[in-house]
Amino acid sequence: MNSQHIFRDFDKAIDALRADVLLMASLTRQNLERAMCSLLERNIDLARAVIADDSDVDDLERKIDQSGMEILARFHPMASDLRLVVTSMKMAHNLERISDHAVNIAKRSKKICKSSVLEEVGLAEPLYSMADSILRDSLMAYTDANAELGQSLKARDKELDRLQKQMVSALSRRLEDSNGRSENLLHLIFIAGSIERIGDLAVNMGEDAFFLGEARDIRHESRKNLTLDPTEESADD
Amino acid sequence: MKHSSIAISNLDFSYGSSPALNDINLEIPAKSVTAFIGPSGCGKSTLLRCINRMNDEIPIAKITRGGIYLDGIDIHDSSVDVVKLRRDVGMVFQKSNPFPRSIYDNVAYGLRLQGSLPKSVLDQSIEEALRAAALWDEVKDRMNESAFGLSGGQQQRLCIARTIAVKPSIVLMDEPCSALDPIATAKVEELIWDLKAHYTIVIVTHNMQQASRVSDKTAFFYMGNLIEFSETSRIFSNPRVKKTEEYITGRFG
């Protein structure tokens, strides 16, 4: 809805809510980028900054929840406005969890950086690039209420899952003759897990953006389709 | 049409040379609550008053095309007795309008018009109507006191009791809560919810939260046209028509 609301206060409140979500998204992406830089460039200070700045993201999550509740209580939004408020609150929740994963990556990065160079960290770079591009597009889908873009992320997340499995399997093989590097290799496996979860959370946000644009809930649809698929049943038989 | 309690078909209505309703087609299901919403002057109250031919009292008002059918019977058919029609299609107005009589006499009024009834039968019917209107417990010990001694919310529920005492099949409500405080409004809304088990209710309201709370279906009118008619949950969460979305989200005019 681009036209103005009868209450200018409502437009102001909605604009502020949306701005806070975008600010939170920007801080979250920055935290994730710095966490990965600290890992790839062996920069402990960056990792410390990520851990310290996570509280800004937490504060924004609380602020967005509070603003959303106030809008619901004061203005009783309907239809697309209601979806925007609900979706914004859910976005904030997902972003907070992504920022937590960035903190997890930073904490493990700190530990890896304190040991000798681990060449395998480079394996995480393509994973991060893909997760960040899914995350970026989920935010664009929210900003533009672009249902098509929001829905398209699931397929890209499957590719991310495949890359993560590949990385974990490569690292697991190296664990066997790790020569004292096993702890750091395990940290790297957990980092790959965090990046994979970030992809999942970005997909959730894409699904929320689809709901915002189309007023239809597509969460868990692939699982439903799977159970309802008659060919699947006959295959089981 | 046979499944619908009220069927409005191709209805055009005018006040003199000014058209007020254009080609309205609407099927209102029985034993449910249907809300009419829309900005002032959109024709929602005019349409409500057409359903029990209240507009007959306005000399320049006339239906110029189409008709309204109650259970398949054209309400403008020459065989239709208007007094009986208005007994079958009761109405509750914006401002509560009890008669300057006792609480008992207010509810008994319509019943007495139907002919003399034994006192015990009358008492029983009045108690039933007051109970159905969720007012019995509050007035049972003061039945002979003036209805004007009741609060605004109680007076409106008394009017609802008076309406349902004659056992209509349809109850029309024209902004029944607009003069009530939130607690009295909540009581009337709860009552509407309970009454739909036995009556077909059509409610005109400017309060969209009220429409979304009490109705099963909602019709949105604009400038004499029916813009959208659908399940209330659909209208208020994902309307199909842009005009409806603009109205319910407050981006209008």
Contact with chain A for residue B252, Cβ under 8 A: yes
pLDDT of residue B180: 82
- Range ranked top by mean pLDDT from A231-235, B1-5, B218-222, B234-238: B218-222
Cβ contact B199:B31 at 8 Å: yes
**CA distances, B163 to each of A31, B184, B223 (Å):** 66, 18, 30
Confidence of residue B2 (pLDDT cuts 50, 70, 90): very low
pLDDT over 60 (residue B214): yes
**Cα–Cα distance between B79 and A175 in angstroms, integer?**
94
A229 versus B143: the higher-pLDDT residue is: B143
**Cα–Cα distance between A4 and A10 in angstroms, integer?**
9
> How far, rounded to the nearest angstrom, does the alpha carbon of residue A117 sit from its chain's CA centroid?
28
- From first to last of its 237 residues, chain A has per-residue pLDDT tens of 557 888 888 999 999 999 999 999 999 999 999 999 999 999 999 999 999 999 999 999 999 999 999 999 999 999 999 999 999 999 999 999 999 999 999 999 999 999 888 889 999 999 999 999 999 999 999 999 999 999 999 999 999 999 999 999 999 988 887 777 888 999 999 999 999 999 999 999 999 999 999 888 888 886 666 554 444 443 333
**Cα–Cα distance between A227 and B209 in angstroms, integer?**
38
pLDDT of residue A42: 94
Residue numbers of B between 62 and 101 with CB closer than 8 Å to A: none
Q: Is A76 exposed, middle or buried (0-12, 13-18, 19+ CB in 10 A)?
A: middle
Q: Give the position of tokens 């919310």.
A: B153
Which residue among A5, A6, A78 sits closest to B236, beta carbon to beta carbon?
A: A78
pLDDT of residue A1: 55
Nearest to A127 by CA among A42, A189, A205: A189
For the segment B38-66, what is each residue's pLDDT rounded down to a tens digit? 999 999 999 999 999 999 989 999 999 99
Percentage of the residues of chain B whose pLDDT score is greater than 90: 82
CB contact under 8 A, A79 and B245: yes
For the segment B91-102, what is each residue's pLDDT rounded down to a tens digit? 999 888 999 999
Give a three-class secondary structure readout of B32-72. CEEEEECCCCCCHHHHHHHHCCHHHHCCCEEEEEEEEEECC
**Best mutation site among A78, A84, A216 for testing chain B: the one with the most B CBs within 10 Å?**
A78
pLDDT of residue A179: 76
CB contact under 8 A, B251 and A79: no
Kindly state the tokens that stand for B122: 């009358």
Cβ contact A163:A67 at 8 Å: no
- Chain A residues whose beta carbon lies within 8 Å of the beta carbon of residue B253: 6
Kindly state the tokens that stand for A132: 């960040």
Nearest to B69 by CA among B84, B51, B81, B87: B51
Q: Which helix (H) or strand (E) holds A159?
A: helix A147-176
For the segment B26-38, what is each residue's pLDDT rounded down to a tens digit? 999 999 999 999 9
SS3 content of chain A, % helix, strand, coil (to 5): 85, 0, 15
Contact with chain A for residue B222, Cβ under 8 A: no
Contact with chain A for residue B246, Cβ under 8 A: yes
Confidence of residue B82 (pLDDT cuts 50, 70, 90): very high
Contact with chain B for residue A217, Cβ under 8 A: no
Please provide the average confidence, as pLDDT, over all residues in chain B: 92
Nearest to A153 by CA among A124, A125, A132, A127: A132
CB contact under 8 A, A6 and B250: yes
**CA distances, B103 to each of B118, B159, B161 (Å):** 19, 10, 10
> Domains of chain A (ranges plus CATH)?
3-220 (1.20.58.220)
**Cα–Cα distance between B54 and A31 in angstroms, integer?**
68
pLDDT over 60 (residue B169): yes
pLDDT of residue A229: 47
Q: Phi and psi at residue B38, in whole multiples of 5°?
A: 150, 165
CB contact under 8 A, A79 and B252: no
Q: Which helix (H) or strand (E) holds B113?
A: helix B103-113
- Report long-range pairs for B74-79 (Cβ below 8 Å, ≥24 apart): B75/B51
Percentage of the residues of chain B whose pLDDT score is greater than 70: 98
